[in-house]
Amino acid sequence: MSTPFPFTAVVGQDDLRLALLLNAVSPAVGGVLVRGEKGTAKSTAVRALSALMPQVDVVPGCRFSCAPHAPDPACPDGPHEVGPGVPRPARMVELPVGASEDRLVGALDIERALSEGVKAFEPGLLADAHRGLLYVDEVNLLHDHLVDLLLDAAAMGASYVEREGVSVRHAARFLLVGTMNPEEGELRPQLLDRFGLTVEVAASREPDQRVEVVRRRLAYDDDPEGFAGRWADEESDVRARIVAARELLPSVRLGDGALRQIAATCAAFEVDGMRADIVMARTATALAAWAGRTDVLAEDVRQAALLALPHRRRRNPFDAPGLDEDKLDETLEEFAGDEDGLGDSDPGDSGDSGDEDPDPDGPGGGGGRPPQDGPDDGGDRDSGNDDGGECSGEVPAQGEAPANESQNGGAPTPGAGEQSPVRAAEPFRTKVLSVPGLGEGAAGRRSRARTEHGRTTGARRPRGALTKLHLAATVQAAAPHQRARGRTGPGLVVRRDDLRQATREGREGNLVLFVVDASGSMAARQRMGAVKGAVLSLLLDAYQRRDKVGLVTFRGSAAEVALPPTSSVDAAAARLESLPTGGRTPLAAGLLRAHDVLRVERLRDPARRALVVLVTDGRATGGPEPVALAGRAARLFAADKVASVVVDCESGLVRLGLAGQLAGDLGGTAVTLDELRADSIAGLVRDVQGKGQDGSRGRSQGNSRRAA
């Protein structure tokens, strides 16, 4: 086993180290979610913590790590008698992103259960992690179903496996740590709430600290054992302090004054449910034990809030996590008191200033980050509008000047000038856009697909290990052979060849590639605010349906990939907010760039089907034969059978129906901005029409769009 990087040698990252140590002291806190950019020692710190965990005594030969002084009465390897145990280091178990359900919770041998009546169970990673640490790197990329399973096990302290009426239960109490890069996508708020604490980490901007990080890392890489030996005393001190804090924890007193501050803080920040109050109480108690105290002080409550509340205030993917520390201090001061176990300590005092070696106040503890600003609204806009006044029926919002007029006189400023940023209109719930046919991509909530979870649609012979038994089909396959197998009485003889795997149909997530027209015709008379609102609404829908998203924009003389395909819809929203507008409409260039993006992504993730959402009024200008060239580019998507929908942004009294013609070339459908709304009664068709399903549909639409 390789020598881990010493925990006490990690430079900075005070909040991260403190949160990990608090969970080592009190696993009831509920684990840690570590959020941050790549290269910020997230994984290094987690792996280093495992070396500090005290040893555990286990029942000899028990695959489920039962404690010898109090063995689990329901242990599948039991029953065990109380007696001496065998000491071993606490395990750190890593859950890979591509793990299956059986790998996580364990597998039952259905064949032996049916044919021999034997409850044969192979433990999974949850059993391995019992009384240790379970580490999930890139937890935001893990399938929601697996995240639910491991969080349920962490909350209940047990894992349940049920297959066709055969069930197994075993203890599963572990310290859960997940790490993630927010740029790769967010967890759902419901799953965020299940992690006890969260920590935001970032690389230091201080040159001296960065130098020390490099120096220590190079020294470790040159001689891991020698480097670890130089930090052995510090590691031993922290290990002993964890043991002492665990022993002190039952004696810590959480008074009514501290409880009132906890409740008032959660109420002031409008946190949903009661889990935050409970986690804050457990965290404050662990902080007091870590500091060697038996009373919870105001500083413990403040630090607990900074660790337990920021991620619980995130209600949608565009909310930045964070906590207003001024508001926190005001709330704590309002409900401060020294009666019943709450001291007079300054609520702003939350530990040391970040010394490398742990001290009685814990490593770091300064904690907390101010709320992050939302997407940058800034940026200059090109107010050029070469496509003129096709929008004569559209009126600017009250108090706003048209996009091609100055703000101080109403006179046009032809060809130049800076346009103030256009903010997105209020998002709304959109109609469901889906890819036709039956896919086999990543599980999600958009298009029909063959999945491991969902409604049973049929049966087949198993390919490899049997995971989901189709009982009726198995009985039907075995029944004709009972006499030949010597069965004359009740019962059924089942052999391997009789087993049938259930085939199931659920929903998959898709790649939703937005191709947005940002030319002058789209910017005219503030239309871009409505366009951005529509795209923002579709991004919210993509987040809820577990899609990857990408963003291609075109304006002027070229197209660009504003955001390569990613699971982070908030990154797409930020790029959308600062999207520049103006200039000509290189529609063909936008389509060709989108086609290239899909080609590359198909090589990376061939199972994930794509849905192209083209947001435009259908105009094409610039260069020779721009309309014909755009039509040829659109037909490439039809030839590849890529599902597509055109969001028609044309407005005004006179409409040319160009978006409908473009949808026909794409082999898809067109929908107006109004018809995109879920509460609209104008559209009847919900699914995006692919190639081969009445290819003339898009061409015939013209002025009468059909909602997808």
Residue 93 has pLDDT above 80, yes or no: yes
Provide the token pair at 530.
């409505």
pLDDT tens across 407-448, in order?
333 333 333 333 555 788 888 889 889 999 988 878 788 898
Q: What angle do CA 393, 396, 400 make, to 5 degrees?
A: 165
Residues taking part in catalysis = 275
| Nearest residue to 381 (alpha-carbon basis) of 404, 397, 410, 408 | 404
Residue listed under structure tokens 């396959």: 477
Residue 569 has pLDDT above 60, yes or no: yes
Q: pTM, whole model, 2 decimals? A: 0.68
DSSP bridge pairs for 610: 511
Residue 646 has pLDDT above 70, yes or no: yes
pLDDT tens across 108-151, in order?
776 666 666 666 788 899 999 999 999 998 888 887 778 888 88
Q: What is the mean pLDDT of residues 534-546?
A: 87
Provide the token pair at 442.
């990543």
CA 71, CA 170: separation in Å to the nearest integer?
11
Model confidence at 321, pLDDT cuts 50, 70, 90, reads: low
DSSP string, 172-183: ---EEEEEE-GG
Tell me phi and psi for residue 167, to 5 degrees. Answer: -130, 150
pLDDT tens across 195-236, in order?
899 998 888 888 999 999 999 999 999 999 999 999 999 999
| Nearest residue to 469 (alpha-carbon basis) of 442, 440, 494 | 494
Residue 663 has pLDDT above 90, yes or no: yes
pLDDT tens across 341-355, in order?
454 444 444 444 334
* Top-confidence range, 60-74, 385-399, 631-645: 631-645
| Nearest residue to 590 (alpha-carbon basis) of 570, 616, 628, 572 | 616
Residue 468 has pLDDT above 70, yes or no: yes
**Given this model, what pLDDT does residue 314 score?**
65
* Top-confidence range, 404-413, 526-535, 693-702: 526-535
* Top-confidence range, 183-192, 617-626, 663-672: 663-672
Amino acid at 243: V
| CB-neighbour burial class of residue 362 (10 A; exposed 0-12, middle 13-18, buried 19+) | buried
Give me the helices (H) in 129-206, please. 144-156, 189-192
Q: What is the mean pLDDT of residues 579-591?
A: 88
Is 279 within 8 Å of 195 (Cβ atoms)? Answer: no
CA 307, CA 22: separation in Å to the nearest integer?
11
Is residue 425 classed as helix, strand or coil in its secondary structure? coil
Tell me phi and psi for residue 148, to 5 degrees. Answer: -60, -45
Model confidence at 687, pLDDT cuts 50, 70, 90, reads: very low
Amino acid at 216: R
**Given this model, what pLDDT does residue 481 score?**
85
Average pLDDT, the chain: 79
Is 430 within 8 Å of 538 (Cβ atoms)? Answer: yes
The full set of domains in the chain, from first to last, is 7-68+82-213 (3.40.50.300), 252-334 (1.10.8.80), 381-434+510-672 (3.40.50.410), 450-507 (no CATH)
Is 601 within 8 Å of 537 (Cβ atoms)? Answer: no
| Nearest residue to 464 (alpha-carbon basis) of 111, 97, 118, 145 | 111
* Top-confidence range, 95-99, 290-294, 531-535, 686-690: 290-294
Residue listed under structure tokens 């709430």: 193
